[in-house]
């Protein structure tokens, strides 16, 4: 398997059906079936480094960290209780879909992360997607939560440093 075959297989999932997303570097087409966003798609196209997904334990523990961050933001008044509940429900939905839908949710390769930017943005994009779409059946939340403006850990480097310090036993 070549280093970018996982990304190529993912892209071929939906070659006919894509959605276009705008972000800081312009617009990019993303397979319609995928839940991640523009930053993740750009990373897949520009950095086909690894076909090895991060261990599920790493992703799940990072999501626990995101949940704790949302709770902390609520406690210091930077997040309304309803917003925190929406983030938690989005994280629950993300975890419910793992590992069956891993390529649609989290295609970033284990070694692609480097300082953690791709890992952090992929997580934020999926959480924000579920928050915007509503995670309960038939619900449209119309949340303003985005992968950039979310009250999830602000900077990638601080997120990764804090996460690594709190989860040394993740394989």
Average model confidence (pLDDT) across the chain: 74
For residues 71 and 110, the answer to whether their CB atoms sit within 8 Å is no
Residues linked to residue 26 through DSSP beta bridges, in sequence order:
23
Has this prediction a pTM greater than 0.95? no
pLDDT band at 51 (very low <50, low <70, confident <90, very high): confident
Return the axis-axis angle of helices 56-75 and 156-166, rounded to nearest 10°.
110
Q: Which fold has domain 5-166?
A: Fumarase C; Chain B, domain 1 (1.10.275)
* Of 113 and 27, the one with more pLDDT: 27
pLDDT tens-place string over residues 70-85: 898 899 988 889 889 9
Whether the pLDDT of residue 46 is over 60: the answer is yes
Domain ranges of the chain: 5-166
Task: Please tell me the number of Cα atoms within 13 Å of 79 on its side-chain side.
Answer: 25
pLDDT band at 89 (very low <50, low <70, confident <90, very high): very high
Closest to 31 (Cα-Cα) out of 104, 109, 106:
104
Whether the pLDDT of residue 137 is over 60: the answer is no
pLDDT band at 131 (very low <50, low <70, confident <90, very high): confident
């Amino acid at each position: 398997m070549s280093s970018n075959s996982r990304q190529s297989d993912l892209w071929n999932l939906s070659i006919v059906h894509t959605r276009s997303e705008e972000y800081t570097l312009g617009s990019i087409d993303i397979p319609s079936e995928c839940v991640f966003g523009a930053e993740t798609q750009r990373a897949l196209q520009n950095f086909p480094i690894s076909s090895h997904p991060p261990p599920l334990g790493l992703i799940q523990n990072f999501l626990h960290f995101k949940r704790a961050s949302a709770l902390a933001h609520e406690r210091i008044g930077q997040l309304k209780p309803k917003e925190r509940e929406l983030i938690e429900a989005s994280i629950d939905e993300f975890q419910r879909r793992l590992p069956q839908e891993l390529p649609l949710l989290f295609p970033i390769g284990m070694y692609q992360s480097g300082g953690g930017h791709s890992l952090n943005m992929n997580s934020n994009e999926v959480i924000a997607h579920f928050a915007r779409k509503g995670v309960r059946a038939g619900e449209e939340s119309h949340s303003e939560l985005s992968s950039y403006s979310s009250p999830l850990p602000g900077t990638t480097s601080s997120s990764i440093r804090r996460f690594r310090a709190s989860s040394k036993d993740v394989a």
